[in-house]
């Protein structure tokens, strides 16, 4: 529940996690979907990475990095989604 609370405290974290929903995505894709600048997305991804909610699956790449939800992130996503469906 700590991860759920952390995600929901920030609209950008919340929207990013809900848009990831188990898919691999590049920061540019996320920025386009959320209508934010890349540097804003990078900051959000960095925060989520520190909390082990997202991970970069090809860290060695300079361009075209792909991010996905970790097991912890997927679990938090499912809890949030289930809770919203109930309401």
- CATH code (residue 8): 1.10.10.10
- The whole-angstrom separation of Cα 2 and Cα 14 is 14
Number of domains forming the structure of the chain: 1
Residue 81 has pLDDT above 70, yes or no: yes
**Average pLDDT for the chain:** 94
Structural domain containing residue 64? 2-86
Please report, rounded to a whole number, the percentage of residues in the chain having pLDDT higher than 90: 85
Return the higher-pLDDT residue of 7 and 86. 7
Cβ burial of 25 (10 Å; 0-12, 13-18, 19+) is buried
pLDDT digits (tens, 9 = 90+) for 34-75: 999 999 999 999 999 999 999 999 999 988 999 999 999 999
Instruction: Check residue 87 and give its pLDDT.
Output: 67
């Amino acid at each position: 529940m700590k991860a759920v609370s952390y995600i929901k405290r920030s609209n950008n974290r919340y929207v990013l996690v809900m848009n990831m929903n188990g898919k691999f995505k590049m920061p540019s894709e996320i920025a386009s979907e959320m209508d934010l600048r890349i540097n804003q997305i990078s900051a959000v991804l960095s925060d989520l990475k520190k909390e082990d909610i997202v991970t970069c699956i090809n860290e060695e790449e300079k361009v075209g990095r792909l991010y996905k939800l970790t097991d912890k992130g997927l679990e938090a996503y499912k809890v949030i989604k289930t809770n919203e469906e109930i309401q």
